[in-house]
Structure 1
Amino acid sequence: MPKVRITVLKTTFHQDLVDEYLVNEELRKNFGTCFVFEEGQMFISADWPSKPEGFCERAWPNIQHEVSMVMYGASAPWIEKPGYTITCCNDGLRPVIFKVERIPDEDQD
């Protein structure tokens, strides 16, 4: 089965949106970037459609489409390199940006 590497490119945080939309002031004070992922962290998806071990339960359904697309040979036409795409989870206050890349067959052993 083809494999895909998922790399955390960026963990972002929108303080302006937190200040405007979070109701609980105590929560606002302690809210920050995603606590699950760190930039540079990598995961391998090899057992479709299972979530890679340690991957966020909430983010996985957000990026499954892109993972399957890349895993089975498609490429996003707006991305310069074939076999890659850039995607993110749907947490609007602290989205995480991922690079999804197909692992070449010779590197899959």
Structure 2
Amino acid sequence: MKKVRITVMRKACYKDLMEKYENPIEHACDIDEGAVFVADGWQRPEGMCESAWETMSPFVMALAHGAENFYDGWMKNPRSAMISCNDGFRPVSFLLETVEE
């Protein structure tokens, strides 16, 4: 099984939606752009948001087992995927890439 590098590419924040729909919360995502995690199988990398992991783990496992070319050429690198977490107020985009050893 291959390892998969997970890089935090971008964080967005939709304050207008938060003000209109979200109840105030004390702790939101504290992941930093540029952070890199390495996944080795189904185990969530240390420090990775559990909710984000739930969203991306099927793609991570597919890449780890050699899958490529998701959605018929969606990504320029066929052994990668761009996945966002499911937070509609402050989504984070993650680049998943198979690590060639």
Same fold (TM over 0.5): yes
CA distance in 2, matches of 1:94, 1:56: 13
Counterpart secondary structure, 1:58:
helix
Q: For structure 2, which runs of at least 5 residues remain unmatched after alignment?
A: none
Give the TM-score, by structure 1 length: 0.81
Give runs of aligned pairs for residues 1-109 of structure 1, distance below 5 A. Answer: 1-23=1-23, 27=24, 34-35=29-30, 37-46=31-40, 48-75=41-68, 76=70, 77-105=73-101
Contact 1:11 1:34 in 2 (8 A): no
The share of aligned pairs that are identical, in percent, is 36
CA distance in 1, matches of 2:93, 2:39: 17
CA displacement, residues 51-107 of structure 1 (integer Å, 9 cap, x when unaligned)? 0111112211111011112111222221111211100110000011000000002xx
Name the one with the larger helix percent: 1
Letter in 2 for 1:65: P
Q: For structure 1, which runs of at least 5 residues remain unmatched after alignment?
A: none
CA distance in 2, matches of 1:42, 1:20: 33
Instruction: Quote the RMSD (CA, aligned, Å).
Output: 1.8
Letter in 1 for 2:59: E
Letter in 1 for 2:89: L
